[in-house]
Amino acid sequence: MNFDFSDDQKQLRDQARKFLTEKCSPKAVRVVLDGKALYDKELWKGLAEMGFLGVAIPEEFGGAGAGHLELCVIAEEMGRANAPVPFSSTVYLAAEALLLAGSDAQKKKWLPAIASGEAIGTLALFEGKGNPSPKNVKLAAAGGVLNGVKKPVADGAIANFAVVAARTGSGGRDSDISLFLVDLRAGGVEVKNLTNLDPTRGQAEITFKDCKAEPLGAAGEGWSILTQVLDRAAVLCAFEQVGGSDRALEIGRDYALDRIAFGRQIGSFQAVKHMLADMYVSATLARSNSYYGAWALSTNASELPEAAAAARISATQAFQHCAKNNIQVHGGMGFTWEFDCHMYYRRANAMALGLGSLSYWEDQLIDRMRKKNAA
């Protein structure tokens, strides 16, 4: 059994960590946090140069042609660094949708642009409150044009193109949904940036008015493709969440070693130690579940749906737990804008909703476990 990343993959992780430590300090993250930029353009460019944006994109489409395990280790580092770039929407959602369902021409047009950092992509799925469901897709596609409103769309204000879920049938069934590819810089698109929990990753409202769109994948296959895209993204996001959990735990641990109260390090009090130990437990469970997700993703195993849901739940819980208690360990200082704790708290809670809420994925996991047990 070799349930671990290879030495090469670990080396890639170290390389990514070194790069991000240098180029993505908390100070750099704060430029976006404070609203002075929509994302860190320099960092995005650097990530492209390092080959990180196209790590899982095949060479024929301008990528490094490595694989999903390589992407997982980079994702972990992106989460650790709280990177203020549209990595997840572009790489986990848009690129994966193209890889799964794109025509050769579509792949040729967008994948090299993603890998080189020229194009930012996203997935336009949600329409207000609610979780992923064909019933919640109202935006209509007819005669090659889209009409409707999507929100929130992650990184919508900076994206060049979007994969849009639209209704092509009359019911709320899976087969009534199709996917479309939209150039957001063309006509018929109106984008409004929205305030959100985590300003280091924007959310937008996009209105489509008789907007020209080309189909992505076969008509009526949209929901089936989306489900696969969300499963893949769930594993990749889980690695970001694992990275974030570890970092929040480290920051809390370091503060507990540094801060003196009642004449001793606060990390010597059991109330604080036990809180940190519980954070370690959550982070460890999340990491192990995510490794299983990575294995299933990289081998395209039939276990992927269940593994992805488990990784998603475990990593969401861990990141929320670690980010929350990191603030608690800090006491009052943790509640200041100046300390970094709230950046992880914001990211953890925003990520918990991005691909569908925790309860949505809990539902998914139970359904998928039942299906397996019945088989």
Contact residues for other proteins, defined by CB under 8 A: 1-6, 69, 249, 253, 256-257, 264-265, 267-268, 270, 272-274, 276-278, 280-281, 284-286, 288-289, 291-292, 294-295, 298-299, 309-310, 313-314, 317, 359, 361-363, 365-366, 369-370, 373
Nearer to other proteins, 114 or 272 (CB): 272
Q: How far is the CB of 272 from other proteins (least distance, A)?
A: 8
Tokens of 150: 């999507």
Indicate the SS3 state at residue 297: helix
> Closest separation between CB of residue 104 and other proteins, Å?
30
Beta carbon nearer to other proteins, 223 or 295:
295
| Smallest distance from other proteins to CB 317, Å | 7
Helix (H, G, I), strand (E, B) or coil at 123: strand
| Closest to other proteins by CB, 64 or 242 | 242
Contact partners, residue 250, CB within 8 Å, separation at least 6: none
Sorted by sequence, the CB contacts under 8 Å of residue 122 that are 6+ apart come out as 86, 89, 90, 93, 94, 153, 154, 155, 156, 159, 161, 162, 163
CB 142, min distance to other proteins, A:
35
Rounded distance between C-alpha atoms, residue 233 and residue 94, angstroms: 10
- Rounded to a whole number of angstroms, the minimum distance from the CB of residue 345 to other proteins is 20
Q: Report the SS3 class of residue 359.
A: helix
Q: Report the residue number, 31 or 353, with the smaller CB distance to other proteins.
A: 353
Phi-psi region of 143 (alpha: psi -120 to 50; beta: other; left: phi over 0): left
Q: How many CA atoms lie within 13 A of 181 on its CB side?
A: 21
State in angstroms the smallest separation of the CB of 356 from other proteins: 13
N-to-C CA span, the chain: 26
Measured from the CB atom, the residue of 185 and 370 that comes closer to other proteins is 370
Nearer residue to other proteins within complex by CB, 277 or 333: 277
Q: Under 8 Å CB-to-CB from 128, ≥6 apart: which residues?
A: 151
Distance in angstroms (rounded) separating the CA atoms of residues 320 and 318: 5
CB 256, CB 208: distance < 8 Å? no
Which CB, 82 or 314, lies closer to other proteins? 314
- Which CB, 168 or 317, lies closer to other proteins? 317
Q: Closest distance between other proteins and the C-beta of residue 120, in Å?
A: 30
**Minimum Å distance from CB 12 to other proteins?**
14
Tokens, residue 180: 């479309």
